[in-house]
Amino acid sequence: MKYLLISVYILFLAIAVCPNIIAQSTKQKIMKTQQTGYAPVNGLKMYYEIHGEGKPLVLIHGGGSTIQTSFGTILPLLAEHYKVIAVELQAHGHTDDRNAPETFKQDADDVAALLNYLKISKADFLGFSNGGHTTMQICMSHPELVNKLIIISAFYKRDGAMKGFFESMPTATLNDMPAYLREAYLKINNDSTGLQRMFEKDKARMVQFKGWSDEEISSIKAPSLIIAGDKDVITPEHAAEMTHKIANSELLILPGNHGSFIGEGMAANQNSKIPALTVAIIEEFLDK
């Protein structure tokens, strides 16, 4: 296990030189190479996008989210160096629903089936929030698919979450879901019933979440980078604990709240340079 001790100032200077020019040229390149499609996966038509070229890197979004809301900022940067396969899970974004609850095990099986459909035998995986839980489950259920893991803002047991998170979950309503995420769903699917159904399934999954045992989480053998914000839903102490449980793992704590350091769509400062810093560290982890 290693802990990443970051001296941010030099990296910030490097990133600050021409971020707008880099982002613009990256976006233009990605638009030319973008592929989208729907894969027949375990009774779903599962939506995916492919950007860039190189080693495959699978992106898995957070609960209630889409590819764009979770990864709109960092996806073009990552696609400069990797073949990024971004997915939308059951009931989310462009992917349809099935007459069954959402589970992290089912999501992991769906992603594995998608990679089989795309004839990708091994990949790196990056998951944010609930996508981080799915990413951990992929490594437990389908370890043969995994090169490396990047687990962002995800806990492996209930007491790893900030105080009040699970206590408030049973009484949450659709009105408690951020308006930004509701609007993003309805922009893709003008279906308020589908939105309500997605919310209820996301909620039920977290209400019923029992976590993984120490033995289960320790079964993850792939090199892993665990990332969290210092004011995240996951506590920094729990993120550190995860590095003790997952062999060959590294820890990165960045300033910010849930998703702000990857430029998630609700981040207060959409012009922050921290997401570019995060991507630079992810790239160094994946390439070593």
CA distance 184 to 206: 21
pLDDT tens digits for range 158-203 = 999 999 999 999 999 999 999 999 999 999 999 999 999 999 999 9
**Cβ–Cβ under 8 Å, residues 1 and 243:** yes
Planar angle of CA 36, 81, 131, nearest 5 degrees = 60
Tell me how far apart the alpha carbons of residues 17 and 274 are, in angstroms, rounded to a whole number: 14
**Which tens digits make up the pLDDT trace of 95-115?**
999 999 999 999 999 999 999
Mean pLDDT of 224-249: 98
Give the domain ranges of the chain. 2-287
pLDDT for residue 16 is more than 60: no
| Out of 32-36, 70-74, 180-184, 255-259, least confident range | 32-36
Would you say residue 10 has pLDDT above 80? no
Angle at 131 between CA 8 and CA 185, to 5 degrees: 105
Q: Are 53 and 83 a contacting pair, CB within 8 Å?
A: yes
Taking each helix axis from N to C end, the angle separating 130-141 and 192-207, rounded to the nearest 10 degrees, works out to 60
Helix (H) or strand (E) holding 224: strand 224-231
pLDDT band at 34 (very low <50, low <70, confident <90, very high): confident
Task: Please determine, looking at this structure, whether the domain spanning 2-287 carries the CATH number 3.40.50.1820.
Answer: yes
